Structure 1
Amino acid sequence: MEIPVPRKLVSVQEHLRDQVAQELRAALLSGELRPGTVYSAPALAAEYGVSATPVREAMLELTREGLVEAVRNKGFRVTEVSERDLDDATEVRALIEVPTVGRVTETAPPERLRALRPVAEETVTAARDGDVVGYLDADRRFHLALLALAGNAHLVRVVGELRRRSRLYGLADRERDGALAESARQHVALVDVMLGGDAAGARAQMRHHLAHARTLRAPRGGHGGVYGDPHGG
């Protein structure tokens, strides 16, 4: 008779895989794991102090998200994002987020707009503390919560996918030069404009913010893409 695997053990394994996946995402976003580089599951497992199995499972999850790609008999390569990819993603986000923020400004109850402020302030705190991973998490929650006020779940999913595929590398450098802090302050400014009922101003602020976010994605000394803001926010 086959002995069933205890449910608790399965739960622990899944939790470990999820925890490893989150750590690997953070390493990707911070630039610790470099684009174009191949990493083996055993080497990463040794670094994180776990077995190779949850690392492989986590990497397969990141493969489905487009963050890495499997390399036969070697491991996983961190996918590279081109300047064109970043420009295209920024263009689509602008087409969605700019008009949506104007509509939400006109239709959302003030208390729901005010509920965005604590998350916006989280990005400010994280940027001030040099917590890049914390900033990225709060930034994602802020933008998706704002878009959710439009009541269109498909719209939220599209932007969430665009954000994953145009992730930021090497943000620690931008934290040091103050660009990340400026981006965080723009979240708070946007909430203030929306609470003032200025739909046109909210659209302009979101357009400016997305342009600034594009400069964060540019290589050091780069042009920032077609949506780049020469004043950096």
Structure 2
Amino acid sequence: MKQGAQDPAAAEGGAGAGTPWSRPGDGAVHVPRQPHAADLRREAGARPGRPAQPGPERGSQPRRPGLDTPPGDHGDGATRGEHTHGEHPAPHHPGPPLRRSSVRGQVLDALRTALVTGELRPGEIYSAPALGERFGVSATPVREAMQQLTLEGAVEVVPNRGFRVVERGARELAELAEVRALIEVPVLLRLARTVPAERWAGLRPLAEATVRAASSGCRAAYAESDRAFHGAMLALSGNEQLLRIAEDLHRRAQWPLVGVLGRPARAALIADAAQHAALLDALVARDTETVRTLLTAHFTPAD
């Protein structure tokens, strides 16, 4: 969180702050579920030598377009003294109640997707009560998800109003790419000399997943598959701290720039994904010079 920021839990005033997004005529935010990076890594058998771990709790329930409000939590902010300025509460969606941690995880996923696609616009302010009504949940899981996003540098607290999506420029993107290169390039070059070819070949399904996601033109799907591929390569180092830092940097690099609305060109995604397949070929062949060249190009921001 930036220096001097207020406690996110006390950030919201009225739900009218900002302009939360929703489909016309629909009270709930509809964000199609994208595969998580961890799910893709498990499906491809990433992290060789380790037993598969169970997925996060948030994956224990099927995703629904609207999220159910937890039992005893009416989602209208009345018990917390929050005002919604006459906004209509979202309709209740019948079905088995979700655990709080599951609701928070689903809200966090949807918010991350909206950030990547630009539905949450840089510079705009959004309040937890208003977003909660559009998700069909209380403000609490939205606020908890926003707290995580403040740690990731995606949003910042605006006292008594809500959370502002951070405005980022090309310079910040270039700096993030430089830091990622400083971390990933030497690690992957070292692994290129020591990891057996068959273990690199085992990551082929992840590289192919990035190509499929790029072909779909969906930025959110590509963001997840891209993190899965890079995470699986770095996981061969066995360094958990490295993985955490690299994933945080990777996620920050995927938030949209100021003025960038919607998706990047599909051709740009396809070109980026094609580098993954070429990189795997070089790693299998232990061609370290080609690995270095491809990684340098991969971490150079496009003009």
TM-score bin, normalised by smaller chain: 0.7 to 0.9
- 1:161 Cα offset (Å): 2.0
CA contact (8 A) 2:117 2:263 kept: no
Match of 1:111 in 2: 198
Map of 1:54-73 to 2, 5 A cutoff?
54-73=141-160
In 1, Cα distance between equivalents of 2:299 and 2:133: 39
Deviations 1:24-52 (A, max 9, x none): 01100111111111011222123222222
User: What is the Cα deviation at residue 188 of structure 1?
Assistant: 0.9
Q: How far apart, CA to CA, are the structure 2 residues paired with 1:168 and 1:62? A: 11
Q: What is the one-letter code of the residue matched to 2:263?
A: D
Larger Rg, first or second structure (1 or 2): 2
CA RMSD of aligned residues (A): 2.2
The answer on 1:192 being equivalent to 2:264 is: no
114, 120, 123: which is aligned to 1:27? 114
* Corresponding position: 1:83 with 2:170: yes
In the alignment, the residues of structure 2 paired with residue 172 and residue 78 of structure 1 have an alpha-carbon distance, to the nearest angstrom, of 15
CA deviation after TM superposition for structure 1 residue 100, in Å: 2.0
Question: TM-score if structure 2 supplies the norm length?
Answer: 0.63
Point out which structure has higher relative CO (alpha carbons under 8 A, 6+ apart). 2
Give aligned pairs, total. Answer: 207
Match of 2:156, SS?
strand
- Structure in which a larger fraction of residues adopt helix: 1
> How far off its partner does 1:11 sit?
6.8
Identity %: 47
In structure 2, the CA distance between the partners of 1:162 and 1:183, relative to structure 1 (3 Å rule), is: same
2:265 pairs with 1:201: no
Q: 1:22, CA displacement in angstroms? A: 0.6
- Deviating 4+ runs (over 3 angstroms): 170-173
Matched to 1:43, the amino acid is A
Equivalent position SS for 2:264: helix
TM-score (norm 1): 0.81
Give the unaligned 5+ runs of structure 1: 216-223, 225-233
Aligned amino acid, residue 26 of structure 1: T
Structure 2 unaligned regions, length at least 5: 1-70, 73-95
Q: Is the 8 A contact 2:219 2:263 kept in 1?
A: no
Q: Counterparts of 1:64 and 1:100 in 2: how far apart (Å)?
A: 26
